[in-house]
Structure 1
Amino acid sequence: MTANTTQLAAALATLAALLVEQPTPETPEAEAKVHTLPGRVLLTVEEAAQQLGIGRTKAYELVKSGEIESVQIGRLRRVPRAAIDGYAARLVSQQNAA
């Protein structure tokens, strides 16, 4: 084996090891990050962003401006599920009126 072939083989082995470690959609770990529990009434701002299909930063901007209602529990900021539905409904009605 030449030096380039040896380096390539080592790089491929490293890549294969990294791919094995990555969670797949079938693993519970990956699903927990994507889906929320059906019975939860309060979501994190990140979960609210996922539900709306927007970025985390934009979700925090909307919470800070009051466009999306939120509550504080101790040091935790949570968004009621109804606030997400209400925000989406307001967006639809504003765009339909325009």
Structure 2
Amino acid sequence: MQTPIAVTIPEAVRLSGISRTAIYEALARGDISARKAGRRTLIGYDELQTFLTSLPQYRSGRG
């Protein structure tokens, strides 16, 4: 399967595991940018990956 160039909001939610609200909040903050194609909002696949890797890493408090 080829990697998509861009994904819709529902696809971004499914692929990332982040809630729809969190995606829209990231868009509002400018953490992710999107483009409009008619009524569809598209997020660049690479941009979504970059956003996810910019999130803090989970670190267990246990040693």
Instruction: Tell me if 1:47 matches 2:11.
Output: yes
Query: Equivalent residues in 2 for 1:1-98 (5 A)?
Result: 38-92=2-56, 95=57
Unaligned runs of 5+ in 1: 1-36
Cα RMSD between the aligned structures? Answer: 2.1
Which residue in 2 is equivalent to 1:3? none
Amino acid at match of 1:67: D
Aligned residues: 58
Q: State the identity as a percent.
A: 26
Higher strand share: 2
Unpaired runs of at least 5, structure 2: 59-63
For residues 83 and 39 of structure 1, the distance between their equivalents in structure 2, rounded to whole angstroms, comes to 13
Runs of 4 or more, structure 1, over 4 Å off, are none
1:77-98 per-residue CA deviation (whole Å, 9 max, x = no partner) reads 1000001111012114xx49xx
Q: Which amino acid aligns with 2:26?
A: L
Q: TM-score, normalised by structure 2?
A: 0.70
> Could you give the per-residue CA deviations for residues 15-49 of structure 1, whole angstroms, max 9, x where no partner exists?
xxxxxxxxxxxxxxxxxxxxxx6342110011112
Under a length normalisation based on structure 1, what TM-score does the superposition of the two structures give? 0.49
State whether residues 70 and 83 of structure 1, in contact with CA within 8 Å, keep that contact through their aligned partners in structure 2.
no
Question: Equivalents in 2 of 1:80, 1:46: separation in Å?
Answer: 13
Pair member with larger Rg: 1
